[in-house]
C-alpha cells in the first residue's frame, strides 16, 4: 500500500467519520505511525510479536482503547460484522485505523501541529510506547506522511 492510498482510502474516511478536532494533525500522525510501524506492509509484528495491523497495535491495547474511547468503539461496531479482534486488526484496515485514532484520542496532550516533526515524535512515543523506537526512521516516516498531506 502507498502512503497516498492509506491516506485517501483509510485514514481520511475514518477521521472524517469520527469528527474529532485537529483532523489534519490526526491524519498526518496516523499515516506517519503506520509508515513507521509497518512500512505499510506488515500486518503482523515480525518475527513473532503480538502487534497487528499497519499500526502494529497489540490486542491488549486495542481492547483497552475500545473500552476507554466510546466513539472508536461505535465506529468499530459499524465496521466489524463478526469475528475475532485479531482478525479485524489484520484484515480490516478501516477498523484498525479506528483503533489507532482512538489511541491518539486517549493519549494525554494536544496533537502536535502539522510540520512539528519533533513534537510528533514525542507524541508518537507517548501514544505507542514503541519497544525499539527509531528516531532516524521517524524522520523519513513523518516526511512521507507530510508529503501526502
Q: What is the CATH number of the domain that holds 113?
A: 1.10.530
Q: What is the pLDDT of residues 81-94, one digit of tens each?
A: 777 899 999 999 99
What is the arithmetic mean of pLDDT over 20-27? Answer: 96
- Residue whose C-alpha is closest to residue 117's, from 109, 105, 107, 125: 125
Which residue range forms the structural domain that includes residue 116? 3-148
Total tally of structural domains belonging to the chain: 1
How many other CB atoms are there within 10 angstroms of residue 22's CB atom? 17
pTM: 0.93
Q: What is the pLDDT of residues 86-121, one digit of tens each?
A: 999 999 999 999 999 999 999 999 999 999 999 999
Is the predicted pLDDT of residue 133 greater than 70, yes or no? no
Amino acid at each position: 500500500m502507498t502512503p497516498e492510498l492509506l491516506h485517501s482510502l483509510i485514514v481520511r474516511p475514518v477521521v472524517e467519520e469520527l469528527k474529532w478536532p485537529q483532523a489534519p494533525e490526526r491524519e498526518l500522525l496516523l499515516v506517519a505511525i503506520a509508515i513507521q510501524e509497518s512500512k505499510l506492509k506488515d500486518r503482523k509484528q515480525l518475527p513473532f510479536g503480538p502487534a497487528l495491523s499497519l499500526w502494529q497495535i497489540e490486542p491488549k491495547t486495542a481492547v483497552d482503547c475500545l473500552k476507554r474511547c466510546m466513539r472508536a468503539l461505535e465506529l468499530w461496531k459499524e465496521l466489524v460484522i463478526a469475528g475475532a479482534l485479531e482478525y479485524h486488526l489484520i484484515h480490516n484496515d478501516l477498523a484498525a485505523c479506528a483503533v489507532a485514532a482512538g489511541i491518539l484520542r486517549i493519549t494525554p496532550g494536544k496533537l502536535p501541529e502539522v510540520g512539528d516533526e519533533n513534537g510528533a515524535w514525542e507524541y508518537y512515543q507517548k501514544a505507542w510506547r514503541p519497544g525499539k523506537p527509531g528516531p532516524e526512521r521517524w524522520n523519513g516516516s513523518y516526511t512521507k506522511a507530510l508529503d501526502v498531506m
